[in-house]
Each structure stands twice: as C-alpha cells, then as structure tokens.
C-alpha cells in the first residue's frame, strides 16, 4: 500500500508538513526543528524506496487521482529523476540537521517561518523532478523559486535587493518556460510529457516548435545561471543566510539542468536537439565561456562564499558543456556531474556556514590559522576541495574524466582545454585558502604575540553542523569509489539513446 503511494508521498509529506509548520511553531517553537527533520526523513525514505523500485522494476507511472495521462496529471519516475529525488531529499535532510545552530545565530526570531519556506522550497524541487506534466512542472518551478526568493531576502545587509533582482530575472525565466509550454500546446493540444514526445516528431519542421524550444532553453538558462544570464546568482547566494544558501546553491541550478536534460532528450528526441538544430554547439561554447569566466571571477573574490558562487557558475558550465559535446560518454559525465556537484556544492556551502557561524565572517581573512582552530571542519573541507579540483578517488575526478574522455572522442579540444584550465584554477583557489589557513599569518599584524595562544586553541563547530558535513565528505569518497556501479545501475539508463 505505502509502496504503491510512495511517489506521491515524497511530495505530499513535504507540502503538508510545510503547511503544518507554523501551527507547530505556534504551539512551541522548539518543536519545529525535530518536525522538519521528521518530515524530511519520511520523504527521504520514500524516495529511497522509489529509487529501489525503479532500479529493480523499471520506470514507475503514478496517476494522480487515477486519472489516466492525457487528461490527468501523471508522475513518471525513471532512473534520472529517481537519482534526483534521492539527491534532493538527502540534501534537504542533511541541511535541516545542520540548520539548528546556524539559524539560532543568524535568524533567531524567524526560525518558524524559515522552516516553512524551507519545506516549500524542497516541495518545489521534488515536484519539478517527479512530475510528467509540463504545466505542472511550471507550477512547481514557481513554488521553488518563490520560496527561494523569500529565503534569500531574509539574509544579511543587501539581501533584499539581491533577492529582488533574482525575483525579476527568475520570473522572466519562468515566464519564458510558460510561453514555451503555450506554443507546444498550441500545435499539439497536450501537456503530458510522454504524449508530447510522441506527437512532436511529426511537427519538427514547424516554426512554432522552434520558438517553443528557444523559449524553453532561454528560460532554463536564466534559471540555471548559464554564463551571460548568471548575474543574479553571486549576490543572491552570497547574501542569503548560510542555511538557505546551503540548500539552494546545490539544488536550484542542478534542478534547472535536469529540466534542460528532460526538454532536450525526453520532450524532444535527441536527433532534434542534436542533429536538426545547432543547439548543442551553442551550449558547448556557452559552457566553455561559463567555465572560464566562472574560474577567473572566482580568483578575483576576497569573500569565500562569493568565490563559491562563481565556482557554482563554472560547474554549470561543466554540465551544459557536457550536454553540448553530445555523445554518450560526455552526457554520462554530465549526469554524473549533476550528482557530484550537488554533493560537492553542499559540502562547500556547509563549510562556509560553519566558518560564518564561528568567525562571524566569510572573508578569506577569516581563514587565518583555521587549521589549528577547527581541525575537523578543515579535514572535511580538504576532502571537498580535492573533489572540486578533481583528485581521485573523490567523485569529482570521475565526472571530469568522463567529460574529458567524451570531448576527446568528439574532437572538441576547446572543451578539454576549458576543463583543464578550470581544474588548474581550482587548485590555485583552494590552495590559497589552505595556505591562509595552515600558516599563522596573523591578519591583525604579526606583532600580536599575546593572541598566539588564543589562536591555537581548538574551538570546533557544534556536532549538529559537523556530522552533516562529514556525511557529505564520506559521500564524496563513496561516490568516487563506487562510481562504476552507480553508472551501470542508474546513470547508463538515464543517458539518452543517441
């Protein structure tokens, strides 16, 4: 019984607990934290269950209210979204556990509403990923975005303006997506993803389809912060509260990449997206430019969180570029990178949150002699940093390996060059931090002898923040070690047949 209903429960549990959170907070504020964790734990269990079913029995079709597809809304779970579901619920659960201390420090009197929005945000992400209906996807996209704007606006000085700009651009992106849906509906009369995929090949010559495709791609590029459309991202994620950016930064861009994969390879057939249109070529160059600009801009930053934002922009370039290379190996690399990037970005922003909690600052100078003060946090940070650089056996190596292998096979040397360039820049970025953190430069001047003892005292982050960070670090190594079996059981089924 529960197993049959698991797909819808994943979303419904989050939505209903979001609605119930203010009531629980009204009774007793401290109950919100365990409540959110409980809800997300239940949701995570459901998504693991669903993933298990998908691996053993193939795709699941769930008809809401038993209305059959062309009329009703359908949830379709195949290998790609089963993977995304587990990633989203897992990330949300870890960040929820992590959130307690950080929220108490940053938003002491607004935790109840923060958790409400938090759950709504997760609901939005889950809904986007699980649904098999293009209009339903738009609604969930807006739920996720609206919750995201509100979460970001609660941040530090300047956060409301950053959130406002994000809102304006995000709305344009979502509206473009909606227009794309409208144009498709105009010629097909259907909103169901699977049915559209069946009808569309007969209409590939039509200009209306081209317009729809263009609207989809531009709207999604805005949502995923692909290079020329990335301007909202650094401000929004830097100024958001630590917990909000630890949730939104790993997921929002990756969910948008997921929608792009769906539009390009499920809604439209791969031969339309790859052979009939020069889309992949544009995506390839957009990816290359995003990687280079992201890497260079990251070098110029003096604020750790802002630096991470530009790394996120570069990582979007990896995935988009991998799709742009358009052969099986590179797309496999891109999908594996979606998974890895969720984990790595989560790790990076979790460390940023811990630093902000202990040092009250995210400037790079806050890392001064930090290895002595917070050895455990920095050990986890090292694992994450090595993975972002791409050192085996961490997971970051393997997705980069597939991307490079794929682009060599396709003869796209420019993408290979961009990948290597960004890896080198990542080495500089992270070793700069390790240098600042390892040696005792004394930001306040070398003469501060009295502070030396104080500096070397270990003052670690609270366990509720450390444990999730360590789970992430462990996940990075485990995904790296078991990448072969992950690829054969999940990702190879998600790669479109070219």
Partner 1 sequence: MDFIIAKYNYWIYITLMMIGFYAMIAKTNLIKKIIGMNIFQTAIILFFVSISYKRGGATLPILTDADAHGGHVIDVAQYLNPLPHVLMLTAIVVSIATLGVALAIAIMMYRKYHTLEEDEILKAIK
CA nearest neighbour of 461 among 98, 93, 40, 18: 98
Q: Does 167 bind partner 1 (CB under 8 A)?
A: yes
Our finding on whether 74 is near partner 1 (CB under 8 A) is no
Q: What is the 3-state secondary structure (H, E, C) of 147-162?
A: HHHHHHHCCCCCHHHH
Q: Closest approach of Cβ 172 to partner 1, in Å?
A: 7
Residue from 203, 84, 191 nearest 132 by CA: 191
Rg (CA), the chain: 22
**Window contacting partner 1 (CB under 8 A); options: 162-170, 247-255, 293-301, 362-370:** 162-170
Q: Is 75 helix (H, G, I), strand (E, B) or coil?
A: strand
> Quick one: which of 158, 201, 278, 375 contacts partner 1 (CB under 8 A)?
158
Distance of CA 210 to the CA centre of its chain: 28
Is residue 438 part of the contact set for partner 1 (CB under 8 A)? no
User: Alpha helix (H) ranges present in 300-446?
Assistant: 304-325, 328-359, 370-373, 375-389, 395-410, 413-438
Distance CA 489, CA 480 (A): 15
Residue 161 touches partner 1, criterion: CB under 8 A: yes
Token duo for residue 463: 């366990």
- Selected from 16, 48, 105, 172, the binder of partner 1 by CB under 8 A is 172
Q: Is 19 in the site for partner 1 (CB under 8 A)?
A: no
Contact track, partner 1, 324-363, x by CB under 8 A? ----------------------------------------
The window from 148-156, 225-233, 241-249, 378-386 that contacts partner 1 (CB under 8 A) reads 148-156
Q: Is 244 in the site for partner 1 (CB under 8 A)?
A: no
Half-sphere exposure in the Cβ direction for 328 (13 Å, CA):
8
Q: Among residue numbers 180 through 209, which ones bind partner 1 (CB under 8 A)? A: 182, 185-186, 189, 191
Residue 189 C-beta: closest distance to partner 1, Å: 8
H or E element that contains 79: helix 79-106
Q: How many residues bind partner 1 (CB under 8 A)?
A: 26
Q: Please, are residues 87 and 130 in contact by the beta-carbon 8 Å criterion?
A: no
Contact (Cβ atoms closer than 8 angstroms) between residue 188 and residue 199: yes
**Is residue 73 a contact residue for partner 1 (CB under 8 A)?**
no
Name the 3-class secondary structure at 362: coil
Out of 178, 240, 292, 385, name the contact with partner 1 by CB under 8 A.
Answer: 178
Angstrom distances, CA of residue 77 to CA of 50, 100, 306: 8, 32, 35
CA atoms of 196 and 190, how far apart (whole Å): 6
Per CB under 8 A, does 68 bind partner 1? no
Cα–Cα distance, 26 to 23 (Å, whole number): 5
**113 interacts with partner 1 by CB under 8 A:** no
CB of residue 255 to partner 1, shortest distance in Å: 17
| CB 157, min distance to partner 1, A | 6
Single residue of 32, 51, 82, 150 touching partner 1 by CB under 8 A: 150
Q: Work out how close the CB of 246 gets to partner 1 at its nearest, in angstroms, rounded to a whole number.
A: 21
User: Look-up: residue for tokens 């790079």?
Assistant: 364
175 binds partner 1 (CB under 8 A): yes
Smallest gap, in angstroms, from Cβ of residue 163 to partner 1?
6
- Note the residues at the interface with partner 1 (CB under 8 A): 135, 138-139, 142, 146, 149-150, 153, 157-158, 160-161, 163-164, 167-168, 171-172, 175, 178-179, 182, 185-186, 189, 191
């Amino acid at each position: 019984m529960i197993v049959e209903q698991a797909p819808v429960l994943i979303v419904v549990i989050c939505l209903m607990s979001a609605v119930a959170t203010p009531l629980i907070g009204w009774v007793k504020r401290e109950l919100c934290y365990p409540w959110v964790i409980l809800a997300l734990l239940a949701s995570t269990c459901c998504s693991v269950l669903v993933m298990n079913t998908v691996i053993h029995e193939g795709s699941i079709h769930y008809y809401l209210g038993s209305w059959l597809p062309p009329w009703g809304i359908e949830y379709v779970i195949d290998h790609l979204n089963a993977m995304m579901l587990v990633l989203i619920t897992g990330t949300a659960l870890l960040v929820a556990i992590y959130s307690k201390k950080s929220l108490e420090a940053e938003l002491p009197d607004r935790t109840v509403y923060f958790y409400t929005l938090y759950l709504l945000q997760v609901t939005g992400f889950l809904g986007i990923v699980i649904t098999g209906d293009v209009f339903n996807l738009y609604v969930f996209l807006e739920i996720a975005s609206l919750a995201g704007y509100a979460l970001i606006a609660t941040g530090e000085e300047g956060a409301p303006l950053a959130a406002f700009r994000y809102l304006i651009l995000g709305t344009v992106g979502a509206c473009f997506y909606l227009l794309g849906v409208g144009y498709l509906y105009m010629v097909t009369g259907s909103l169901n993803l699977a049915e559209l995929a069946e009808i569309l090949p007969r209409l590939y010559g039509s200009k209306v389809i081209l317009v729809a495709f263009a609207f989809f791609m531009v709207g999604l590029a805005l949502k995923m912060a692909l290079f020329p459309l990335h301007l909202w991202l650094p401000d929004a994620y830097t100024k958001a509260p630590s917990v909000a950016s630890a949730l939104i930064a790993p997921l929002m861009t990756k969910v948008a990449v997921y929608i792009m994969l769906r539009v390009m390879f499920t809604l439209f057939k791969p031969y339309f997206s790859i052979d009939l249109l020069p889309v992949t070529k544009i995506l390839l160059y957009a990816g290359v430019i995003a990687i280079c600009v992201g890497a260079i801009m990251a070098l110029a930053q003096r604020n750790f969180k802002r630096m991470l934002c530009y790394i996120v922009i570069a990582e979007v370039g990896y995935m988009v570029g991998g799709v742009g290379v358009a052969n099986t190996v590179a797309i496999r690399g891109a999908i594996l990178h979606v998974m890895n990037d969720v984990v790595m970005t989560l790790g990076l922003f979790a460390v940023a949150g811990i630093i902000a909690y202990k040092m009250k600052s995210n400037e790079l100078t806050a890392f001064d002699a930090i290895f002595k003060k917070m050895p455990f946090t920095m050990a986890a940070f090292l694992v994450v940093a090595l993975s972002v650089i791409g050192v085996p056996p961490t997971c970051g190596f393997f997705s980069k390996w597939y991307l490079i292998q794929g682009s060599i096979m396709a003869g796209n040397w420019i993408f290979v060059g961009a990948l290597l360039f960004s890896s080198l820049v990542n080495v500089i970025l992270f070793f700069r931090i390790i240098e600042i953190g390892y040696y005792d430069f004394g930001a306040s001047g070398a003469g501060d002898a009295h502070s030396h003892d104080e500096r070397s005292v270990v003052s670690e982050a609270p366990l509720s923040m450390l444990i999730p960070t360590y789970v992430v670090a462990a996940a990075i190594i485990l995904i790296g070690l078991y990448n072969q079996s992950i690829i054969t059981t999940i990702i190879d089924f998600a790669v479109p047949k070219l």
